[in-house]
Amino acid sequence: MKFGGTSVATLPRWQNIRELVASRRAEGARVLIVVSALSGITDALKQLCAQGDKSKRIEAAAAIKQRHHELLEQMQLAPPEGLLARLDDLAQLAEDGPRVLGELAWQAQVQAHGELLSSTLGAAFLSATGVATQWLDARECLTAIALPNQNERTRLLSAMVEARPDPVLTARLAGLGEVFITQGFIAREGRDDGIAGRTVLLGRGGSDTSAAYLGALLKAQRVEIWTDVAGMFTANPRQVTGARLLQRLDYEEAQEIASTGAKVLHPRCLSPLREPRVPLLIKDTNRPELEGTVIGPEVREHAPSIKAISARKGITLISMESVGMWQEVGFLSDVFAYFKQHGLSVDLIGSAETNVTVSLDPAENLLDSDAIAALATDLAKVCRVKVIAPCAAISLVGRGMRSILHTLSGVLAEFGQLRVHLISQSSNNLNLTFVVDEEVVDALVPHLHDLLIGAGALRTDDSALFGPSWEALYGRGDVAPAAASWWRTDERQRLLDIAAKATPRYVYHLPTVRQQARELKKLAAVDRLHYAVKANTHPAILGALAEEGFGFECVSPGELRAVIAAVPESAPLLFTPNFAPRGDYEFALTTRATVSLDALHPLQYWGELFRDKEIVLRVDLGRGLGHHEKVRTGGSGSKFGLPVDQLDSFLRLADAHGVIVRGLHAHLGSGILDDSHWGEVYGQLASLAERIGSVSFIDIGGGLGVPSHPGEAALDIAGLDRVLREVKTAYPHYQLWMEPGRYLVADAGVLLARTTQQKGKGAFRYLGIDTGMNSLIRPALYDAWHQIVNLTQLDAPATALYQVVGPICESGDVLGTDRRLPEANEGDVMLIAQVGAYGKVMSSPYNMRDEAEEVVIE
Ligand code: ADP
Ligand code: ASP
Ligand code: MG
């Protein structure tokens, strides 16, 4: 059991340690405790070492002494003799300075005192509170090996140990007792000449590695890393509060996450455990009841997924341009020889015919400006050198990275705005790394983490791997838990009864529609809301939204008729067709709908039809947005909207026919979760409206996104309102309209189907259900992701990995790929969630299969 700095810094933490050790003893295990220095002490010791002034060093040693005495006082313990002796040693080292031992050996000896002190103190506390504990000197167990490429600095401050199972040590400990405590971070230099080697360090954060070495030497049942967080998360939880706990990882993935920047594990601490197959557990000392992360040898069957995003700061890039001949033979060998000579280990490499650029990671190299300058001077003998710093490396980590590249388009788009100095895809296929300027990472990482969830690249729906978010485990009390879906709790039995009568069936839950409507009515800046009925034209839904005071936006005569039949006359209507025939406008003009135009053609050729009418003009602001290329409705690649450069021609035609442009409209796409977008559209439309003169309202469209993946953040309605109110203050003379569709109805609808057949084929298991793309085309058309659950076995463990497919004769008839679900039986009721929008309305009689019926529940 290894306890980190914060885990050993206070009396309550030591009481936790005592309980934990006692509970392991009660299980019959023998325990070796490995401790770090009290939090902050290693830093203080490093500062002491950097101090040239003797009296300042002595002062620093006294402060460290004081800190340990305070903890002893809290523990109500008299200072044990061993501790006093060590404190005296430290005072002596501070007084002597480096002159006796030599600079680096002295530094190692001084810094080793952090762990020597904390372990001595811990042994006294545990023994005094009833857990008889033997103190062990880690330097008698761990011998550092001298590697040919190490220089004196790495040999003393970042040493390596070869840890093979050691039956002699195991037997020795067996003879000594049941509970031991020793130091992390330190080892003894190995020597062939029989002289006792010097004290060496394992590198910052190296106590984890001590625990791993000892775990391997003793072939332990397991190594437990007790820290201040309940495991390894999908990102640094202090930076990304939505980061999810990784419940299980294999050594390779965990290694990759650690070495790309997740400080929770020292990057070297997994390799010693691989060969003896010792599992490693990460747990929170303060919250031992939380599950934590298990890292072990077994690779579980799961879909390729990004597991984490990590970042490392302080990266230095060295760009080397060959000054000699094109494709000069031996260039790499020449330049790398200098890196070796300077004891610097290269991390990432990018190469071209005349240039090679490498990165140096501060975790692997003791980098300082002198070291870099010395290297650059030598390199300049064979090439032109450029040093780029400070940089940061952002890594996406997960097994099978190359097979999930297609899910990363939105994530990659973020790098469009940034200077990317280097991209590297690791040859083990476990990471994709971007080197950017250091200053951008703090803001970028949380944003990329959200995008990875939204894109389904981080498969948070796989609950066997991805546990709760950090916020859910530790978050502030005032964060409301995500509302459980209506179908998961109260209505499950009702849905099973509905499915028992017939499947496939769409079921709509009206309370959810009303709840979403009320949410949008909180937008104080918006004067009128229209429901974009193309999402779902069921009369009960139209009726419910009319009761909530919504207007209706229709795109065809059929929709107009359906709405007119279902809602009271007082409800306002909009008609916003696209490339519609003349007859559609003729019909619409006989209704009370406000008609919108988005091309010159209608006024050029059918101008008389619109004489003296008030219309809405839909413009194209030159760009599109949304969750998929096929839902972006702006930009020259889309057929919607009048390009702004044709505005003057349009206004001349309107004038010629006495047509008044009363409204101005744009809609850029759908599934947008970023509230700032509508503010931009609103501002642009308002400034165009100023040019037109006759405008009295601005319609900024819909596209309000609904999160689909577990853990994806919902649109911030209050934030959106703030954005809109700001624009409104500048343009108070225009009414503001919106036309949401999906936002109102998506979550209200589910599709129920029954399982038919199963088939294993190659690596895949297919689970058939009795409807497919004929009922729900979104997955095939937009790559849309819909949650799928086995409603019959809702709480059964999800042990199978299925491709969920329908009965349609198309290979695209796949409703969900790689879904972790309970082992299904024929006839189980499957529920496909979030299909209230663009579900039934897009269904077809393809293959002459009966269309799903619709059922409405209150
Ligand atoms: P200890 O002192 O116990 O060794 P560390 O501070 O070295 O603890 O490591 C724990 C810290 O690692 C966490 O508090 C967290 O800030 C940081 N960390 C960075 N990345 C991750 C990650 N992906 N998952 C969990 N923790 C992380
Ligand atoms: N005390 C050492 C450090 O702070 C080692 C450790 O805590 O892992 O780097
Ligand atoms: Mg640590």
Summarize pLDDT for 398-411 with one digit per residue, the tens: 988 888 898 898 88
Out of 4-13, 608-617, 715-724, 733-742, pick the least confident. Answer: 715-724
| CB-count burial class (<10 Å; 0-12, 13-18, 19+) for 589 | middle
Task: Identify the residue whose C-alpha is closest to ligand 1 atom 22.
Answer: 236
Which pLDDT band, with edges at 50, 70 and 90, does 477 fall under?
very low
Task: Name the residue of 185, 264, 473 to mutate for ligand 1: max ligand atoms within 8 A of Cβ.
Answer: 264
- Among 35, 67, 204, which is best to mutate for testing ligand 2, by the most ligand atoms less than 8 A from CB? 204
Could you give the CA distance from residue 346 to residue 361 in angstroms, rounded to a whole number? Answer: 7
**pLDDT value, residue 483:** 58
What would the pLDDT profile of 773-810 be if each residue is shown by its tens digit?
A: 999 999 999 888 999 999 999 988 888 889 999 999 99
For the record, the structure tokens of 459 come out as 């498969």
Span from the CA of 681 to the centroid of ligand 2 (angstroms)? 51
Looking at residue 763, its pLDDT comes to: 80
Instruction: For residue 479, name the pLDDT band (cuts at 50, 70, 90).
Output: very low
CA distance 272 to 381: 40
pLDDT of residue 149: 73
Task: Identify the pLDDT of residue 480.
Answer: 45
> Relative to the alpha carbon of 4, which ligand is closest?
1
Q: Which amino acid is at 623?
A: R
Ligand 1: which atom is nearest the Cα of residue 207? 4
As a whole-number percent, the residues of the chain with pLDDT over 90 amount to: 76
Of 788, 774, 806, give the one whose Cα is nearest residue 710: 788
What lies within 8 Å, CB to CB, of 125 at 6+ separation is 14, 18, 75, 77
Please say whether the dihedral angle defined by the alpha carbons of residues 243, 249, 252 and 258, taken in this order, is positive or negative.
positive
Average pLDDT over residues 92-99: 96
CA angle 526, 530, 531 (to 5 degrees): 130
Per-residue pLDDT, 626: 59
Burial 260-285 (b: 16+ CB within 10 A, else e): bbbbbbbbbbbebbeebebbbbbbbb
- Ligand nearest, relative to CA of residue 8: 1
What CA–CA distance (Å, rounded) separates 521 from 540? 20
Active-site positions read: 809
Residue closest to 312 by CA, chosen among 218, 378, 391:
391
pLDDT at residue 423, rounded to an integer: 93
Q: What is the DSSP letter of 28?
A: T
Q: Whose CA is nearest to atom 9 of ligand 1?
A: 264
Q: What's the pLDDT score for residue 196?
A: 83
Over residues 285-309, the pLDDT tens digits come to 999 999 999 999 876 666 788 999 9
The pLDDT value recorded for residue 325 is 57
Compute the distance from residue 257 Cα to the ligand 3 centre, in Å. Answer: 14
Q: What CATH number was assigned to the domain covering residues 2-227?
A: 3.40.1160.10
Tell the residue number behind the tokens 């838990």, with chain if given: 481
Instruction: Return the sign of the alpha-carbon dihedral for residues 718, 722, 725, 727.
Output: negative
pLDDT at 678: 85
Q: What SS3 class is residue 688?
A: helix
Residues 6 or more apart whose CB falls under 8 angstroms from that of 611 comprise 657, 658, 659
Q: Is the CB of 16 under 6 A from ligand 2?
A: no
pLDDT interval class at 90 (50, 70, 90): very high
Closest ligand relative to 229 C-alpha = 1
- Best residue for ligand 1 mutational test, from 36, 185, 227, 470 (most atoms within 8 Å of Cβ): 227
Distance CA 245, CA 710 (A): 13
Residue 229 Cα, ligand 1 centroid: separation in angstroms?
A: 7
Distance CA 211, CA 7 (A): 15
**CB count, 10 Å around CB of 157?**
19
User: What is the residue extent of each domain of the chain?
Assistant: 2-227, 308-474, 511-744, 746-857
Is 616 a residue whose pLDDT tops 50? yes
pLDDT at 368 over 80: no
Instruction: Find out whether the beta carbon of 308 lies less than 6 Å from any atom of ligand 1.
Output: yes
Residue 309 gets which letter from DSSP? E
Per-residue pLDDT band for 676 (boundaries 50, 70, 90) equals confident
42 lines ligand 2 (CB under 6 A): yes
* Confidence band of 343 (pLDDT split at 50, 70, 90): confident
Ligand 1: centre distance to CA 217 (Å):
25
Centroid of ligand 2 to alpha carbon of 338 (angstroms): 30
How much is the average pLDDT of 187-215? 93
Would you place residue 478 in the very low, low, confident or very high pLDDT band (cuts 50, 70, 90)?
very low
Question: Average pLDDT of 332-349?
Answer: 89
Among the listed residues 585, 682, 598, 676, the one whose alpha carbon sits nearest the alpha carbon of residue 643: 598
Sign of the CA dihedral with 122 first, then 123, 129, and 130 last: positive
Question: Which pLDDT value is given to residue 497?
Answer: 97
Residue nearest to atom 21 of ligand 1 (CA): 236
CATH class of 308-474: alpha beta
* Helices of type H across 455-600: 470-474, 492-501, 510-521, 539-547, 557-566, 582-590
- Does 204 contact ligand 2 (Cβ within 6 A)? yes
778 lines ligand 2 (CB under 6 A): no
- pLDDT category at 627 given cuts 50, 70, 90 is low
Ligand 2 close to Cβ of residue 5 (< 6 A)? yes
Quick check: CB of 227 below 6 Å from ligand 1? yes
Q: What is the DSSP string of 432-478?
A: EEEEEEGGGHHHHHHHHHHHHHHTTSS-TT-TTTEEEEHHHHH--TT
In this prediction, residue 481 carries a pLDDT of 46
The CB of 184 under 6 Å from ligand 2? The reply is: yes
Query: Which of 718, 708, 647, 649 minimizes the C-alpha distance to 833?
Result: 708
Mean predicted confidence (pLDDT) in 321-334: 77
Q: Residue 758: what pLDDT? A: 97
How far is Cα 764 from Cα 761, in angstroms, rounded to an integer? 5
Does the CB atom of residue 282 touch ligand 1 within 6 A? no
* Nearest ligand by distance to the CA of 205: 2
Q: Is the pLDDT of residue 740 over 80?
A: yes
Domain 511-744 indexed as CATH 3.20.20.70: no
Query: Which residue, chain included where needed, has tokens 């589910």?
Result: 750
The mean-pLDDT minimum among 84-93, 95-104, 626-635 falls in 626-635
pLDDT for 799 equals 84
Domain 746-857, architecture per CATH: Beta Barrel (2.40)
263 lines ligand 1 (CB under 6 A): yes
Selection from 325-334, 721-730, 792-801 with the highest mean pLDDT: 721-730
